[in-house]
Structure 1
Amino acid sequence: MAGNLKPVASLLLVLNFCMYAIVAAIGGWAIDFAIDHGFIIASGLVLPAQFSPVFFPMGNAATGFFVIFALIASVVGAAAALAGFNHIRAWNSDSLPAAASSAVIAWTLTLLAMGLACKEIDLGGRNTRLRTMEAFMIILSATQLLYILAIHGAAAIRPRA
């Protein structure tokens, strides 16, 4: 039965890696756009009363926090996928702790970004790229959990030598 979970874990790992890469690309675009179109303050002017250091000219008040945490989660998730690829290749108990711990850290950061995505959805006023990031973070919160369960389930079923 442990061998039956290896293809499932492999599929989830590839799916998660691709989705984290897409979220990182869109998050990079959002940060670049915010830098190019954010506040420009001349030397004699003061900051506006509503100034936020996490200001993004698109979206709403939650956009800045969401983009930053989604970008962090996607980078950590992609790195966790590399540890996961090593575990899938070896598929033994020696490679499981690194894959599992990095996957759990990526999942918790993904949950944080998903919570901010839900807040951003609640506030409204987003463009299609931000909606794509939100959808991917919500989907990733589920698929990353399924991946963690698949690699832990295989370890629990496998007999000890």
Structure 2
Amino acid sequence: MANQQLKPVASLLLVLNFCMYATILGISGWATNKAFKHGFTISAGFDLPPHFSPIYFPMGNAATGFFVIFALIAGVVGIGSVISGLNHVRVWNVDSLPSAASAAAIAWALTLLAMGFAWKEIEQQMRNAPLRTMEAFLIILSATQLIYIVAIHSAS
């Protein structure tokens, strides 16, 4: 790759994205664990309530379950994207670009999906501080992941 000027920009974005994806994984893991501990148990001869949701979270609102699950998936794929991106920054040639770019694009798409649920959760209100933190990080990540994709593609 001829353009070495964008290598520090890509490295900085990878470190930033790693920290934010790791935070998202921590918070969404906590929320999932809390949902498992306070979940709804069904015993023999017990009927489901009329508006039962299998994705129930004791905090937040109706969008919280989908938001947390997709944030968890986006976080895992985002960390994988960072690992692939670190290999690309280390080698910085045309041969490593396709794997880094495709992993980054998939992570960005899942981040956008989780961000859509974050917007829905913001619209419905009634959420706690960790969920607000995760919403903010996903909104920021949707921009930084896109900037990272543009940076590695414009360097070729």
TM-score relative to the length of structure 1:
0.94
Match of 2:142 in 1: 141
| Per-residue CA distance 1:34-71 (angstroms, 9 max, x = gap) | 01012123323211111001111110000000000000
Structure 1 distance, partners of 2:45, 2:62, is: 27
Gaps of 5+ in 2: none
Structure 1 distance, partners of 2:20, 2:13, is: 10
Aligned 1:44-59 pairs, distance under 5 A:
44-59=45-60
Deviation at 1:3, TM superposition (A): 1.5
| Per-residue CA distance 1:57-100 (angstroms, 9 max, x = gap) | 11000000000000000100000100000000000001000000
Aligned 1:57-72 pairs, distance under 5 A:
57-72=58-73
The share of aligned pairs that are identical, in percent, is: 67
Structure 1 distance, partners of 2:43, 2:85, is: 48
Deviation at 1:18, TM superposition (A): 1.0
- Alignment length (residue pairs): 155
Superposed structure 1 runs of 4+ greater than 2 Å apart: 40-44
Structure 1 distance, partners of 2:88, 2:66, is: 32
Match of 2:119 in 1: 118
Deviation at 1:113, TM superposition (A): 0.3
TM-score relative to the length of structure 2:
0.97
Structure 2 distance, partners of 1:38, 1:50, is: 15
The question of 1:33 aligning with 2:47 is answered: no
- The SS at the match of 2:44 is coil
Gaps of 5+ in 1: 156-161
State which drifts further: 140-149 or 36-45: 36-45
The question of 1:85 aligning with 2:86 is answered: yes
